Chain A
Amino acid sequence: EDQVTQSPEALRLQEGESSSLNCSYTVSGLRGLFWYRQDPGKGPEFLFTLYSAGEEKEKERLKATLTKKESFLHITAPKPEDSATYLCAVRHLTQGGSEKLVFGKGTKLTVNP
């Protein structure tokens, strides 16, 4: 069964202090790895999709990378507004034909000014 593990569970950074979040996965044939951002009390907001090892995507201070076993979300010079929970998910094709997402538990990022 597909599994997604995110680490660390929580990360506290000072403004400007770069770091990385990890997402390791075990799937039978990767059909896409997704990163979402979730603010408290809100739904997940789509950030990136990665499909193959070596692929990278960037958006402002965020950069997502993918290897055969894990993905990293690099945050460069974070600002307090980057504080949120970051969710990683893999796409799983079910027998019923749906392409549900299997999520990790998320990393709660806090950036202090």
Chain B
Amino acid sequence: DTGVSQNPRHKITKRGQNVTFRCDPISEHNRLYWYRQTLGQGPEFLTYFQNEAQLEKSRLLSDRFSAERPKGSFSTLEIQRTEQGDSAMYLCASSFRGIGGETQYFGPGTRLLVL
């Protein structure tokens, strides 16, 4: 399977715990995005990487959230001191900016439940 992969697919944690999610993009895609989706809503942008550089962070991304993309390959999203409001589906998408434009391809998501 050469699509975007995310791990874990599901995570249940207690309030106050730290969690980390991983995203493996499509190989050779230099752009990587994180989105968050809650029930009945469309995905909302969180942050963006071009290669290893984090170039954009949404106001939705509080100080408890941190994302990395070492060596411009896989990416991790960490949430510290989780709160119940963090419960959502976390989606990763990757893309390649070419002459014809850019299409973001999404992974299956990580569903987080904070108890």
B42→A43 contact, CB < 8 A: no
1/0 per residue, CB under 8 A from B, across A71-107: the answer is 0000000000000000101010010111111111110
Interface residues on A, range: 20 to 34
A100→B45 contact, CB < 8 A: yes
- Which B residues are in CB contact (< 8 Å) with A89? 42
Interface size on B, residues (CB 8 A): 28
Mark B residues whose CB is within 8 Å of A.
4, 6, 31, 33, 35, 40-45, 48, 50, 55-56, 91, 93, 97, 101-109, 111
- Which B residues are in CB contact (< 8 Å) with A44? 43, 91, 106
Mark A residues whose CB is within 8 Å of B.
4, 32, 34, 36, 41-46, 49, 51, 87, 89, 91, 94, 96-106
B103→A42 contact, CB < 8 A: no
